Structure 1
Amino acid sequence: MLVKTKGVVLNYIKFRESSIITKIYTEQLGVQSYIVNSVRKKGNGSRIALFQPFTLLDMVVYSSPRGGIQRISEYKTAYPFATIPFDIRKSSILLFLSEMVTRTVKEEEENPTLFAFLYNSMISFDQQVQHFENFHLEFLLELTQHLGFGPGSGTEIIEQVAFSANTQAATSAPPVLALHAYETYFDGLLRPGVANETIPNGKIRREMLSILIRYYQLHVDKLGEIKSLAILSEVLS
């Protein structure tokens, strides 16, 4: 059966000489994996740029009730990015977020609200030309709402992380007693316009991200190591 759908590319892996297997969050079918042939050709024939993290696509795809890896009949860019491919800070942020979404969003069924969040967030991010240094934090906080463990306040995040049994096990978050200093910063991201606390520098931003990843680890089974975090930290340092 052929299905017409929009899609948000999450990642891809190389397959054979010139093909890939790509994971895409689709509007109609949730998370799906597709084999795409001959996209890694040398020269002008290559279309691999269309499968970079969070590229937005219009697609016609094959869908089978048996599941498994499917194929794409037609695909084209739904929204050509104007800034993301040319800004290493933005592309690094999306590499990191694509890994987080891939590890946390698993449903193979339609979820219009989640799809709209992912799709519209990318358009908004591409249109921002400055003051986007908190985007990854804001994105992850909003994603928690769609995943079912969204915090109501910065205090809720800090208390769960501070009193978890393995606070220091898989994160570089600061010592427990220092965590409470970040409550108002999280409140500022959760309730913009209500809490006006400004994140003063990159060091605090990185520590907040470590806390937030630990918060995810408490709620997402086997989240594991986020390999792209080191790249993001270096680029944004």
Structure 2
Amino acid sequence: MLYHTKGLVLGTIKYSETSIIARIFTQNYGMQSYIVNGVRSQKARGKTALYQPLSLLDLVVYHKPGKDIQRISEARFSLSYQQLPFHPTKRAIGMFLTEVFGKVLRNESPNEELFLFLEQSLILFDNQSEYLNNFHLQLLLKASAFMGFGPANGADLIDQLAEAGYHFNLVTDELALLDQLMHEKMGTHIGLSNALRRDLLDHIIKFYQVHTDSLKEIKSIDVLKTIMSS
């Protein structure tokens, strides 16, 4: 039977000469793997663009509960990004977020509130023209609440890390800045130096690692830090 759902692409792997398996976080079914036949063939020119990282899709899918790999009947963009794939800073942040959520949401059950939050945040980010450099910090902090382990405030985050064995010499206003990142609207200007932004990102990543068992090495973080320091 066919079902309609929206989806957020979080990764693909090649499968046979012309096909792929796409890992998609869906609005209705959580994280799913879909085989997409023939999408890399010459006749299917351009269709691979549908499955680029962070693509937002409208999908018609075959869904059988408990099945490891599902199938897609129809796919189209629910929205075409104007800047995210092309703007250097947005692209670097997008690569980083794709890797993090691809790992963290590996076995995620249906979570419509999280899906809608990610969808709305990415649309906002695509249209955002300034104050880009804190987007990933805000997104990770706010998304943690939808996954059930969000800290109440900056002090709570640091206290939980201390309980897990991580200890920091916090700089002035670091807790207040974490509070701002958590509670201000996405895209709000929050003044951070590059060094402090890196420190806060390290805290947030460690916080995710404490609460999930799938986020270990993050390959894209070096590219992100390079872009952020330029």
| TM-score strictly above 0.5 | yes
Give how far 1:163 is off.
4.4
- Kept after mapping to 1: 8 A contact 2:134/2:190: no
Match in the other structure for 1:32: 32
Any stretches of 5+ residues in structure 1 without a counterpart?
A: 168-174
Give how far 1:219 is off.
1.0
Render the CA deviation track for 1:157-193: whole Å, top value 9, x for unaligned: 122224432x3xxxxxxx7223675211101112228
Q: Distance in 1 between matches of 2:88 and 2:156?
A: 33
Match in the other structure for 2:220: 228
Match in the other structure for 2:202: 210
* Structure 1 residue identity aligned to 2:208: Y
Helix, strand or coil: the match of 1:78? strand
* Pair 44,38 (structure 1): closer, same or farther in 2 beyond 3 Å: closer
Match in the other structure for 1:17: 17
Render the CA deviation track for 1:207-235: whole Å, top value 9, x for unaligned: 11011001111111242111211121122
- Kept after mapping to 1: 8 A contact 2:181/2:190: no
* Structure 2 residue identity aligned to 1:164: A
Q: Distance in 1 between matches of 2:127 and 2:153?
A: 28
Helix, strand or coil: the match of 2:31? strand
TM-score normalised by the chain length of structure 2: 0.90
Q: Distance in 1 between matches of 2:52 and 2:35?
A: 15
Moved more, 12-21 or 71-80: 12-21
After superposing on structure 2, the runs of 4+ consecutive aligned residues of structure 1 that deviate more than 6 Å are: none
TM-score normalised by the chain length of structure 1: 0.87
Q: Does 1:56 align with 2:48?
A: no
- Kept after mapping to 2: 8 A contact 1:9/1:51: yes
The aligned runs of 1:85-234 (5 Å cut-off) are 85-107=85-107, 109-165=109-165, 167=166, 176-178=168-170, 182-192=174-184, 198-234=190-226
Match in the other structure for 1:170: none
Give how far 1:81 is off.
0.6
- Kept after mapping to 2: 8 A contact 1:10/1:98: yes
Q: Distance in 1 between matches of 2:109 and 2:162?
A: 35
Helix, strand or coil: the match of 2:76? strand
- Kept after mapping to 2: 8 A contact 1:103/1:223: yes
* Structure 2 residue identity aligned to 1:71: R
- Kept after mapping to 2: 8 A contact 1:14/1:20: yes
Give how far 1:85 is off.
1.6
Q: Distance in 1 between matches of 2:35 and 2:104?
A: 22
Q: How many residues align?
A: 227
* Structure 1 residue identity aligned to 2:213: D
Match in the other structure for 1:171: none
* Pair 65,158 (structure 1): closer, same or farther in 2 beyond 3 Å: closer
Helix, strand or coil: the match of 1:22? strand
Match in the other structure for 2:84: 84
Give how far 1:109 is off.
4.1
- Kept after mapping to 2: 8 A contact 1:184/1:197: no
Any stretches of 5+ residues in structure 2 without a counterpart?
A: none
Give how far 1:145 is off.
0.1
* Pair 17,201 (structure 1): closer, same or farther in 2 beyond 3 Å: same
Give how far 1:38 is off.
2.4
CA RMSD, aligned part only? 2.2
Q: What is the percentage of aligned positions where both structures have the same residue?
A: 40
